[in-house]
Structure 1
Amino acid sequence: MIWRLRVQRLPNLNSRGPVRQRPANPPSIGESQPCNIAGLARYGLHTYNRRRKASNSPAMDPNEGTQAPDGPDVKKMNDVRDVCPSSSHLPPSAPTPDPQPAFRSALAPSSDVWLSPTSLRQPPSSFRHLSRSTHTRRMGYLCREPHVASTIDKLITSRHTMAMTVIRLRRLAKLGSSTRSPKPEGESSADAETSNSATSEGKAPKAPANPTPSSTPKPAASNPFSQLGVKSESGASSPAASNITESNKRFASDRATAPAPAKKANVEESLDDFSDRTLSHIFRITVDPERVVDTHGHKLTFLPEASQELQENGSPLKLTTSILDSALLEAVTAIPADKPLLGYLLPSFKRITRTNIVKETAEKREALEEAKRLCVSNALFALTIPDLFGRSRPESLVTYLLKGHEQDDGVCLDFLREAVKRFPEDEQFPAAFATAMHTLSIKLSALSMEDDYKPYISALMSYTKFPPLLSALAQHPNFMTAQKLGSHVEKETILGPFFRISPLQPEVTMTYFPNPRGLDRTRAAPSQDALRAILRVHQDELFTIANAFIRADTDTRSRVLDWFASAINGNHKRRALQVDPKEVSSDGFMMNLTVVLDRFCSPFMDTTFSKVDRIEVEYFRRSPRVDIKEETKLNADQSASDAFYATQSQGNSNFISEVFFLTLAAHHYGSEATNSKLKGLERDIKWYEKHLAAMEAERIKVQNQPQQLAMFELTLKRHTTVLEKAIAMKFAIEGIFLDEKMQELSLRFMRYVAVWLLRLASQSSYTPDKDLQLPLPAQAPEAFACLPEYALQDVVDNFKFVYRYLPQIMPSAVGSEMIALCIAFLRSSEYIKNPYLKSSLVTLLFSGTWPFMHFKKGVLGDQLYGSKFANDNLLHALMKFYIEAESTGVNTQFYDKFNIRYEIFQVIKCVWGNDIYKQQLTRESKVNRQFFVQFVNLLLNDATYVLDEALTKFPKIHTLQQELEFGNTLSTQDREKKQEELSTLESQAGSYMQLANETLAMMKLFTSALTSAFTMPEIVQRLASMLNYNLETLAGPKMGQLKVNNPTKYHFQPRVLLSDFIDIYLNLGSSQAFIDAVASDGRSYKPEVFDKASYILSKRSMKEAGELEQLDTLKAKFLESKQIADQAELDLGDIPAEFEDPIMGDLMKDPVILPSKHIVDRGTIVQHLLSDPKDPFTRQPMTVDDAIPHTELKEKIQKWREEKIAAAKARAAGGDAMDTTEG
């Protein structure tokens, strides 16, 4: 194998004749003969040793360059062979020509010299350590010829110092050497041993096919190698190389007229003939000046130097593997500098791989393997050592990686496979391929899905077939970035631009959704389907790429996990209230990242949760990749969290844990952040549409002012563009989120997270097929408390979205763990610090009960209805959080509680048909009396407030509607002001009325099932007062003020509302305590109001006859109780101050002593503590248990009451008797 360096030409030393002179007009390539520099060096050493030997001086070892004992006489033909391989055909017995005349001959100008690495593999060690001047002195001294020393000095100084030259040559020899070179047919073993360029000594070669006169070679006017690598037209003639001599031309002309010899039938093609035919076709070159085209009609380029070498060696003019090395280098080196070498080598490699060698002999297959090896070697050196080919810059693979595998000059998998085999030989090889992919990545970062991005993906996909390539990429400096911002990870790392490609890129969304203002969901659906299909393919490719990195080797896996972590950790600001797009990654990038990580989790997410125990809770205490330091924790402050994680845990986390926590964080900063953006877009779109409508209304003001109108139109267009982009982005995000396959995969992951959280919180081996014991332990495990909030929040948000928009993907097995999750943390709400997170659990249950298709109770309703776990724990959990919502500790708690309680009502209504829940309510009223009283009291508070707020809005709405309808004299400003006020009132009335309806419906359910629980002393009076007040509003003198236009717009149905109130009266009418409480309400009880209500219900047929009869009976009982109460008040007269309640002013029935030493009635303080758990006099915290019964005072009050009643009865009896007597 022969390599070339740009050095001073040395003449050929040919023993068969004088030194051949250069032509008068040398061709561009030159006609220098191969010369072995190392051989020249050894020749000088031998000459020196002979002379030293004559003077008894120590000899020099030609292999080591150091002093050595005298050896055998080396004054043999090897002297010449070492200097010039072209003379290696001389027989060993031939006399040795004197080399000195050759050295003294005129040296040719600077050109290319052939070097044989077989003789350069072990250069003299002294060369490796000497400077240029030292080399020059040593060689000049050795050869005793100044002219030779000057020549060697020129050899050394041509480009680099000799030391670097020899080091490079050693490296090239190592890389370029083959384990076995096929021998041409007929070559003897002796010849093979004595010749570096083995020639055939066997059969005479066949005469080449005679060219036609039209294809007779002519001198080329330009460099014949400028066309190498350019595909020729089939059958086209090509001029021969320019350096064909005139005799050769005549020889070619004579052969052109000679008939072609008849082809022998059934004669096996010799190895030389096969090699010549095949290699010429593959590399488009020839050493025969008479050949113009190959057997397929492709133009061939003549190689003069290789041809002349064969002629001088007396070898047939055939291109065989013995000369292929030098021939290929001659061809490649002569390619013009403005043409890429790979443009020639890669198509040649393709032709090698396409050559059919199935039926060929082993030697022929070896010949092709050698051709493949040499082709790849030259390609690799073109990428890493350009100066071997006289070039200043290395070749780049970028252009060829972007071409398809099927294209002739595209990088195919076979080429990559061969190249990868050479990676252990030189570290620059893998670096070249990694650099090429980095360049591709940079180019891709400027593209979008709208551009031609597929070739870039295909190029990286090709790399995934070869782990060493991926390892090289992972070790590239730009695989990671030192910058911590997510935007840098997306654009500056190698993998970032590949994950960046997405239909969520702004320029792409407008392509999918042109004119978005005119689209609705139905018309946008086809574009969303197309968008999902394209993205799904791209995400499949991204997963294939990432999975290949993971499976390459341990170091590469670690690097790619680091890359995922850097992308996640650099995007914490995506969850900020105000997001700067320049600092974070795009939505498309993060969505792709999330989906790929979801797919990594898929193998261990089985339906039996058999591998959930592989997820290590100690992950965050083992130098985790995921950064949670600044994240809000589930139930720990920053100091507690820091102290917990300061204690490191031993060992390394397994791959499942790594991927699990990376995926969990990716959902938080990726898909869930994008979902939040979608909600923000919906708000922005409404604002922009309103704003544009207002601008359109202002057009008339500038319609007659051209300059202002032009500015107005420009502003309007700019705002319209912003709106259209927002709408297009909204449709695109919705299209991605409505991808059922993506959501199914995400759902599976979130199920695993839910089960893992429950196992951690309960300190059990819980799985959906096992029971979960509630309540949870009183103290939450520290490992659970210090988890980031998003561990639970992502689960809830993901399931809420699926329940609401994609319930059809919920398999029947899904749901039990989510019910367990919601109920467990609602019942043990102290495990979670964030009130919003706790309320989201209610929202999740509520979303799961929405009717959908044939699921009348939603996707969770049936399980909530029939699950034993839900039957035992759901109602208590909901009631507990209903109470807890009263005081959440946030500034919006007053309004938040109504939303929470509305959702609680919906869940209870869904399951109320199961009598088990009614039994649970009864049990709560008896077992947890104080708990139940608190629940009912808050229910009454809500009903009172929301009804009052709603019903008081209607008179104002009615007034404003009248003013706007008939107020023709209103100014524009006043009308706009009143219209805005009306809109606000309507919105408030609708919200309050909707909640009022649900609250009243809940009271109907509870009172129908549990009368006694609502007539307890602590409750009954407040309940009666609330009912009386609202009944008077609906059927009293002011009922006409509730009349508004289109009342259903506000969810207001007065007659239905009235009927519901009467139902509650009827439900509780069997209780005397309730009857007395209604009748004793001196503020709102009026018998005529009940009469009016009966009339309305009867007239509108709102009640059955039986119900109206029950109402009449109940009215009579109210009236009777009222009369008795009035009489009792007269009988008691003035109440002593010590018996009077200081808060309510009534007679105390069960006095208690407060911590402040004040005495009040038990019923009064109980009602107070239900809404304000503090002593009403000192404002210190207290509970009902802190109230001490005042038994002595209670006995005095009872005795005083009995005496007063007895005295009243005596007076009444005496008065009646007296009247009778007088009568």
Structure 2
Amino acid sequence: MKYFAGNQALTTQYLQATVQTLRHDEQNHQEVFLQIVKNLCRGGSDCRHRVVQWYGQILGSNELRAKMSHMLRMTQQQAAESLDPMHSMLLKVQGQTSYGFTLNAFWSLLGLAEPIKMDKLSDLCYFFCLRGDAVAREVLGDLAKDAKLGNEASVSAAEKFCNAKGVLKAETKFPSEVFWLALKAVRVLFNPCMAEFTRILQKFQSVHDQGASPTSPEYRFLVAEILSWRTVILHPKFCSLYWHLVHLGLSWLLRAVYCFNLDGSCRLDEETLSVKPPRLATLVMQSCPPPLQVERQRAARANASGSQSPNHAANASQDVTTPPQFAALPSALVEDLFSSIRRMLELQSVYLSVRSSQGFEQPPIAAMDAELVASACIAVMTASDFFRNVHLRCDGACKTLYFMFLTEGVRDRLESIPVVQEHLVRALTEVFIASERGSYYDRITFRIPIVDLFQKLLVVDNYKEALHRLGSSSPEKFIHMIHLLLNDVSTLVDQAMSALTEIRKRQHEGRDHDEPPQPSATTEGAAAEAAAAAAGASPSRSSSSGTEDEEDEEEDDAGASLEGNAQLRRETWSRLEATTRDLCSLGFNACSLFSLYAKECGAYIIRSSSILPQAVTTLDCCLDHLVGPRCLQLKVNNMESYNFQPKKWLMKVLESYVYLLQADPEGGDSLVAEILKDGRYFQKETVNKAYRIAKREGLMNLKLLEKFQELVKRLSEGKEEDFEIDLDAFPVGSEAKVLADSS
């Protein structure tokens, strides 16, 4: 750090020379240390075990830090502990290592794992976590107590397999010990370090945004700290070794999923294929989900069509569903690998931010095998019999794939990968459905990246074709996906509009700021408020006690009571603003995704007797909120700051109507009849106003506008025979004022 904290000017030439010198010295020191360790390991099994136990003690001393890092992430704490003046003393008291030592230890483990090649995956033990010897206990630490990937029956079968084969009695090979050490180091060394670096970057950004002078001591200290970190974590050799370990870990995991039978024997075809380029990605391409899951599903369908005992369904969860090689693995290993990949993808953004002025650095993802990483993510997302934890499938694999699509330089590579083109749409559909098993808050969190990914993909022809294949081959999954998506749209639009109404109410009452904490507030009350805020807004709809048609009573509408929205009223102003932004953003994205589905697969929706009524009710509900009698309640100050764009939202709703009308094989009769049945939200005045606004604001192209005009005419004729609509005679009135003012 002393090389960057002096008074010298940090010019590009100085930085380039200093960083390259430091990196050269660092790599030389690592190579010397690595050679010493290798020489020690050649001294016999006892000496080798001492080396392994020494590394195990380093990892064990950092387990508390890993837990604290996880808690800081969950609670969204931004303070970097290494910037605390008391940090060095706390390290001594807690028995932890410094972040610099931690990174160096991780680098040395990466160097020890470097000789392990892909064609030697079969030499790496899958049952190390079941061993009870002193070396294994030292290496594993808390990892031995972690939940296994297999269910109880599969883990029991794995233990019996080990006893029958004598696996646990045989001496563990050094590559297996190093490999397990390195995998655990990802959890307790690498991820906490990357989290700390992220917090330092956030601190620097905060100081920069506050207008601190670049010559101030705090500013220069943070710059020196960041440059010191970057010297190591952006080192080309460090990044290359990291990706080698990740590729080994993911390939090893996929081999456990694809290359073994339930009895632990090898599947010869898959084992042969896995050692050929492009290796295990080919297995995912050929069979997704894995063959064992496909066979199990086929057997389940056969049993369902035939006779089966009454206890068959009850015993299904107790069946052995995964090979022993897979069942014995700790679930934390997979989660930690995905977390570390996301950290490296975030580091790529840091690299891109300094690339223009400091072009001597290489991208941290230069050595990443995008096809292998994407294949592993898709395999985890689709293999529900193997990866039963919905958090691992949604928040682990799917979120990692989402980060890859957001990262510059990776998305273009991903979109052209065959396994992604073939299976990603199905995988996203399956995890969207699986996320229903989570809590309300988790469900919303899981679906944000899924919805965004769908919107990015369904504008590309290859993924449109994949969506059509899914609708043809698995119509039940497609319909289930649409059903859940419409549920989200309906719920989110209600919540978003209720939150906007509460925002408007507080703005008119002058309560658009955070209240100072009350001295009498109890700890229990504060905890309850925090827990309630984390759960999101209430799903109930708002109701107004004021009038709906008179503009001069606008204030009464804004101040109307929100029955059933006690949660919104209790939230602080800042929390209410954040909740409103999230609800409006996700609600609009979900509505936009349904518009894409209606455009590409409207025929499936029209033909479904269950989905069409739900789709019509949901669209009518959105229309009622946006241009109906209560739309003035949504007229808040500075709509854009809450991600509320009513014109764009209205455009997506109207486009959905038109796409469904065009997809109706009966010329629109089915859609019109279904809309006329909706007695809860549908009103001819609302549809007329929507058309007038769309025409005036140019929300749709001429062809779509003419189609919507046709729908409006047919609805007016079907609703009341004596009602004649003059589509060009409507003046600009107060009913659409919220949309007029948002431009």
Alpha-carbon distance between aligned partners in 1 of 2:501 and 2:187, rounded to the nearest angstrom: 47
| Residue in structure 2 matched with residue 1027 of structure 1 by the alignment | 619
| Residue in structure 2 matched with residue 591 of structure 1 by the alignment | 103
CA-to-aligned-CA distance 1:413-439 (integer Å, 9 cap, x gap):
xxxxxxxxxxxxxxxxxxxxxxxxxxx
Amino acid at match of 2:689: K
| Residue in structure 2 matched with residue 1068 of structure 1 by the alignment | 660
| Residue in structure 2 matched with residue 821 of structure 1 by the alignment | 376
Q: CA deviation at 1:826?
A: 0.8
| Residue in structure 2 matched with residue 846 of structure 1 by the alignment | 402
Alpha-carbon distance between aligned partners in 1 of 2:244 and 2:177, rounded to the nearest angstrom: 17
Alpha-carbon distance between aligned partners in 1 of 2:632 and 2:146, rounded to the nearest angstrom: 56
Q: CA deviation at 1:731?
A: 6.8
| Residue in structure 1 matched with residue 630 of structure 2 by the alignment | 1038
- Picking from 236, 250, 253, the partner of 1:757 is 253
Amino acid at match of 1:565: G
Is 1:834 aligned to residue 353 of structure 2? no
Alpha-carbon distance between aligned partners in 2 of 1:522 and 1:1038, rounded to the nearest angstrom: 62
Residue aligned with 1:885, SS: helix
| Residue in structure 2 matched with residue 875 of structure 1 by the alignment | 425
Structure 2 residues not aligned, in runs of 5+: 72-89, 260-269, 294-320, 350-362, 522-568, 724-743
| Residue in structure 1 matched with residue 64 of structure 2 by the alignment | 573
Cα gap change, 1:726 to 1:810, in 2 (>3 Å) = closer
Aligned pairs (5 A) from 1:992-1011: 992-1011=583-602
Contact 2:154 2:327 (8 Å CA) reproduced: no
Contact 1:641 1:786 (8 Å CA) reproduced: no
Contact 1:590 1:666 (8 Å CA) reproduced: no
Contact 2:59 2:185 (8 Å CA) reproduced: yes
- Picking from 47, 52, 56, the partner of 1:561 is 52
- Picking from 1096, 1115, 1122, the partner of 2:719 is 1122
CA-to-aligned-CA distance 1:957-1001 (integer Å, 9 cap, x gap):
23433444999xx99889xx9998332221111111111222122
| Residue in structure 2 matched with residue 665 of structure 1 by the alignment | 184
Alpha-carbon distance between aligned partners in 2 of 1:522 and 1:901, rounded to the nearest angstrom: 46
Q: CA deviation at 1:604?
A: 3.0
Is 1:747 aligned to residue 243 of structure 2? yes
Contact 2:66 2:189 (8 Å CA) reproduced: no
Cα gap change, 1:973 to 1:802, in 2 (>3 Å) = closer
Alpha-carbon distance between aligned partners in 1 of 2:506 and 2:435, rounded to the nearest angstrom: 35
CA-to-aligned-CA distance 1:89-139 (integer Å, 9 cap, x gap):
xxxxxxxxxxxxxxxxxxxxxxxxxxxxxxxxxxxxxxxxxxxxxxxxxxx
Cα gap change, 1:898 to 1:1122, in 2 (>3 Å) = same
Alpha-carbon distance between aligned partners in 2 of 1:791 and 1:1088, rounded to the nearest angstrom: 58
Which gives a bigger RCO, structure 1 or 2 (Cα 8 Å, sep 6+)? 2
TM-score with structure 2 length normalisation? 0.68
| Residue in structure 2 matched with residue 174 of structure 1 by the alignment | none
Is 1:982 aligned to residue 595 of structure 2? no
Contact 2:500 2:634 (8 Å CA) reproduced: yes
Q: CA deviation at 1:886?
A: 1.3
- Picking from 288, 298, 303, the partner of 1:774 is 288
| Residue in structure 2 matched with residue 306 of structure 1 by the alignment | none
Alpha-carbon distance between aligned partners in 1 of 2:583 and 2:182, rounded to the nearest angstrom: 41
Contact 2:616 2:674 (8 Å CA) reproduced: yes
| Residue in structure 2 matched with residue 903 of structure 1 by the alignment | 449
| Residue in structure 1 matched with residue 122 of structure 2 by the alignment | 613
Alpha-carbon distance between aligned partners in 2 of 1:689 and 1:981, rounded to the nearest angstrom: 27
Contact 2:429 2:481 (8 Å CA) reproduced: yes
Q: CA deviation at 1:1032?
A: 1.8
Alpha-carbon distance between aligned partners in 2 of 1:1019 and 1:939, rounded to the nearest angstrom: 11
Cα gap change, 1:522 to 1:879, in 2 (>3 Å) = farther
Q: CA deviation at 1:733?
A: 4.6
Alpha-carbon distance between aligned partners in 1 of 2:512 and 2:197, rounded to the nearest angstrom: 42
Alpha-carbon distance between aligned partners in 2 of 1:1035 and 1:834, rounded to the nearest angstrom: 42
Q: CA deviation at 1:1087?
A: 1.4
Aligned pairs (5 A) from 1:692-703: none
| Residue in structure 1 matched with residue 643 of structure 2 by the alignment | 1051
Alpha-carbon distance between aligned partners in 2 of 1:615 and 1:964, rounded to the nearest angstrom: 65
Is 1:653 aligned to residue 172 of structure 2? yes
Alpha-carbon distance between aligned partners in 1 of 2:35 and 2:100, rounded to the nearest angstrom: 18
Is 1:1017 aligned to residue 609 of structure 2? yes
Alpha-carbon distance between aligned partners in 1 of 2:644 and 2:594, rounded to the nearest angstrom: 18
- Picking from 914, 939, 947, the partner of 2:485 is 939
CA-to-aligned-CA distance 1:760-780 (integer Å, 9 cap, x gap):
111232253433322221321
Aligned pairs (5 A) from 1:497-576: 512=4, 535-551=26-42, 555-576=46-67
Residue aligned with 1:824, SS: helix
Is 1:629 aligned to residue 144 of structure 2? yes
Contact 1:636 1:785 (8 Å CA) reproduced: yes
Contact 2:595 2:656 (8 Å CA) reproduced: yes
| Residue in structure 1 matched with residue 707 of structure 2 by the alignment | 1110
Amino acid at match of 1:546: V
Q: CA deviation at 1:680?
A: 6.3
Q: CA deviation at 1:871?
A: 3.1
Aligned pairs (5 A) from 1:262-341: none
Alpha-carbon distance between aligned partners in 2 of 1:513 and 1:829, rounded to the nearest angstrom: 52
- What is the aligned residue count? 571
Q: CA deviation at 1:1003?
A: 0.9
Contact 1:747 1:798 (8 Å CA) reproduced: no
TM-score with structure 1 length normalisation? 0.42
Alpha-carbon distance between aligned partners in 2 of 1:1032 and 1:529, rounded to the nearest angstrom: 62
CA-to-aligned-CA distance 1:564-617 (integer Å, 9 cap, x gap):
233234443332238984133333322211101111222233xxx222233233
Residue aligned with 1:611, SS: helix
Structure 1 residues not aligned, in runs of 5+: 1-502, 694-719, 1127-1223
Q: CA deviation at 1:924?
A: 3.2
Alpha-carbon distance between aligned partners in 2 of 1:1117 and 1:1086, rounded to the nearest angstrom: 13
Q: CA deviation at 1:758?
A: 0.4
Contact 1:513 1:527 (8 Å CA) reproduced: no
Q: CA deviation at 1:897?
A: 1.8
Aligned pairs (5 A) from 1:177-576: 512=4, 535-551=26-42, 555-576=46-67
Cα gap change, 1:682 to 1:964, in 2 (>3 Å) = farther
| Residue in structure 2 matched with residue 886 of structure 1 by the alignment | 436
CA-to-aligned-CA distance 1:201-237 (integer Å, 9 cap, x gap):
xxxxxxxxxxxxxxxxxxxxxxxxxxxxxxxxxxxxx
Answer 1 or 2: which has greater helix percent: 2
Cα gap change, 1:528 to 1:631, in 2 (>3 Å) = farther
CA-to-aligned-CA distance 1:290-324 (integer Å, 9 cap, x gap):
xxxxxxxxxxxxxxxxxxxxxxxxxxxxxxxxxxx
Q: CA deviation at 1:726?
A: 9.1
CA-to-aligned-CA distance 1:982-1034 (integer Å, 9 cap, x gap):
32221111111111222122111111011122221111111111111111221
| Residue in structure 1 matched with residue 582 of structure 2 by the alignment | 991
| Residue in structure 2 matched with residue 1171 of structure 1 by the alignment | none
Is 1:804 aligned to residue 346 of structure 2? yes
